[in-house]
Amino acid sequence: MTTTPSTSAAPPHAPARRLVIVGGVAGGMSAAARARRLDEDARIVVLEQSPYVSFANCGLPYHLSGEIAERSDLLLHTAESLRAALDLDVRTGHRVTAVDTAARTVTVATADGTYDEEYDALLLAPGAVAVRPPITGLDHPAVHALRTVPDVDALRGRVDTVLAAASASGRVARAVVVGAGFIGLEAVEALVARGLEVELVELADHVLPPLDAELAPLLAQELRAHGVGLHLGTSVTAVTDGAPEGTVTVTLSDARTLPADLVVVNVGVRPASDLARDAGLELSPRGAIRVDDDHRTSDPHVWAVGDAIEVRHAVTGDAGPVPLAGPANRQGRRAADSMLGHRTTPQAPVQGTAIVRVFGLTAAVTGASQAVLTRAGIEHEVVHVHPKHHAGYFPGAESVHLVASFAPDGRLLGAQGVGRDGVDKRIDVLATALRAGMTADDLAELELAYAPPYGSAKDPVNMLGFVAQNALDGTMPQWQAADLDEVLATSLVLDVRSAAERAVAHLPASLHVPHTELRTRLDEVRDAAAGRPVSVHCASGVRSYLATRILRGAGIDARNLSGGWLTLEALRPDVAA
């Protein structure tokens, strides 16, 4: 047996002694803290270009609104507190300008000049940079972002100023928010809370583009109820000086113009991977840093985590960046384990679980949306339910609007929800079920906590399972609101709601037979169908399920509208008369 002489650097799998971490928020700081807990003797240097480390970036919109009143509440740690608790060497205002992977050094630029820092293990946690949309006048001082503490400081200052100016001149202050994603919606909510009139501009055809099209109208309705103007399928082309002085005019792609006192732009981010690229590390075609299961890059002494890296999607298997705080934090912890030779666990693929509060509503998603599944060519059955978030007979029951997609073998592929209460719980349960590879049968059998203030004996998640079982095993074939035009052309639509419900709105071409009368009026349905299939609907899909079974029991080819009128009306407001 021969041995090679040891070098000054430890081999990749032995504990490293000099750790340098680029980026002091979320993933970077999680890694630094974990590294210290694993190795009391390591030298751990955190280099952060901004003045702040470990700040609550997800809290920024709530400081804008004033809901988080104290700015200091956003600053979870300081260099001093991190030195005291964790013996970390945290250097803010330190920007890393280059990585020399051969020499294992980084070049650091500070206000006082540049210097080189040596490392045995380097972690890149640089995050993301905002995408700059092609808007003329994007650098106008009225245009703001909402990604950092200085951003929110500037935006709060602007809000104060324009509120004062508007108040002095007896008019309302106006904001235009560009981009109706998660942060955009939080910005809208915050600006409305501050008393501004807000117009929201979104390029996609519905708000919160990751949401399925039939759920988004619930959010749009909530936004409009709070006075927010929506401009969907629209982009901003220019921001120019307006009148009175200090205001701007926002020009939209549909040629309309909106007067505004300030503009908030949030149209997405891209990986901040310039440093990694210049260092010769492997990037994905979309510019994300490629890492292995232990978050190691193509260089064995360099790791990377967070918004800058490429991850695998749990459902589609596609690789790409997923800029979310939760995964970034856990990646940091795992990367530290790897850097220090601790036991590592496999990196779970990312599901994209996310949630947003929009005034009184919550919208949340996990796994693949219908659009993503369709784009990926993954066959799926979609089910919609609208149960109450706790026992219907208990005061305060609110509808939870849930959509879930299942593979033909029953495996859960994605789920989304919107509602006033209980949505976060159901999405977290479904996110856990999805991670576990659960099927419709499994959801039907989940044993969740039931007492009237909390849920139902058959929880909304169980209901999703029941409905999916019935849809997948042929007990209850479905039709989808998205296919309405084809359904109207090729089948008889049967409305089994009550006369009172039908009077509010209905499809003119449909036959009306309340579900309790169906057993005695089967001939009427058979005659009207004239050999065509019968496409049943009620309000939510429950009574029409019974009707579908009655019809099928009588030998009639019937199918049930998934989600009922509630879903149809949201997706196709044009057809109800």
Residues 139-198 that bind its own copies (CB under 8 A): 182, 186
Smaller CB separation from its own copies, 40 or 139: 40
Q: What is the largest CA-CA distance in the chain?
A: 91
Structure tokens at 453: 């203030």
**Binding status of residue 442 toward its own copies by CB under 8 A:** yes
Give the up-direction half-sphere exposure of residue 359: CA atoms within 13 A in the CB hemisphere.
Answer: 15
**Binding status of residue 458 toward its own copies by CB under 8 A:** yes
Binding residue (CB under 8 A) for its own copies from 515, 534, 535, 566: 515
Binding residue (CB under 8 A) for its own copies from 550, 558, 568, 570: 550
Binding residue (CB under 8 A) for its own copies from 424, 483, 501, 557: 424
Contacts (CB under 8 A) with its own copies, residues 353-382: 353-357, 362, 364, 366
**Binding status of residue 457 toward its own copies by CB under 8 A:** yes
Q: How far is the CB of 478 from its own copies (least distance, A)?
A: 15
Q: How far is the CB of 541 from its own copies (least distance, A)?
A: 13
Instruction: Look at residue 312 and give its three-state secondary structure.
Output: strand
Q: Residue 467 class from Cβ within 10 Å (0-12 exposed, 13-18 middle, 19+ buried)? A: buried
Smaller CB separation from its own copies, 245 or 447: 447
Q: How far is the CB of 66 from its own copies (least distance, A)?
A: 10
Length of the chain: 577
Binding residue (CB under 8 A) for its own copies from 327, 387, 414, 563: 327
Binding residue (CB under 8 A) for its own copies from 466, 478, 529, 570: 466
Do residues 91 and 270 touch, judged by C-beta distance below 8 A? Answer: no
Binding residue (CB under 8 A) for its own copies from 10, 109, 371, 546: 546
CA distance 261 to 479: 47
**Binding status of residue 329 toward its own copies by CB under 8 A:** yes
Pairing between β-strand 381-385 and β-strand 361-367 as defined by DSSP bridges: unpaired
Sign, CA dihedral 77-82-86-90, equals positive
**Binding status of residue 462 toward its own copies by CB under 8 A:** yes
Reference 133, options 176, 174, 97; nearest CA is: 176
CA distance 39 to 52: 25
**Binding status of residue 86 toward its own copies by CB under 8 A:** yes
Cα→Cα distances 106→174, 175, 318, Å: 45, 42, 32
**Binding status of residue 37 toward its own copies by CB under 8 A:** yes
Map tokens 């590390």 to a residue: 281
Contacts (CB under 8 A) with its own copies, residues 296-325: 324-325
Contacts (CB under 8 A) with its own copies, residues 212-231: none
**Binding status of residue 391 toward its own copies by CB under 8 A:** yes
Smaller CB separation from its own copies, 450 or 502: 450
Contacts 24+ apart (CB under 8 A), 170-175: 172/196, 172/197, 173/197, 173/261, 173/262, 174/198, 174/199, 174/247, 174/258, 174/259, 174/260, 174/261, 175/199, 175/260, 175/261, 175/262, 175/263, 175/264
Stretch that binds its own copies, among 234-242, 245-253, 427-435, 501-509 (CB under 8 A): 427-435
**Binding status of residue 68 toward its own copies by CB under 8 A:** yes
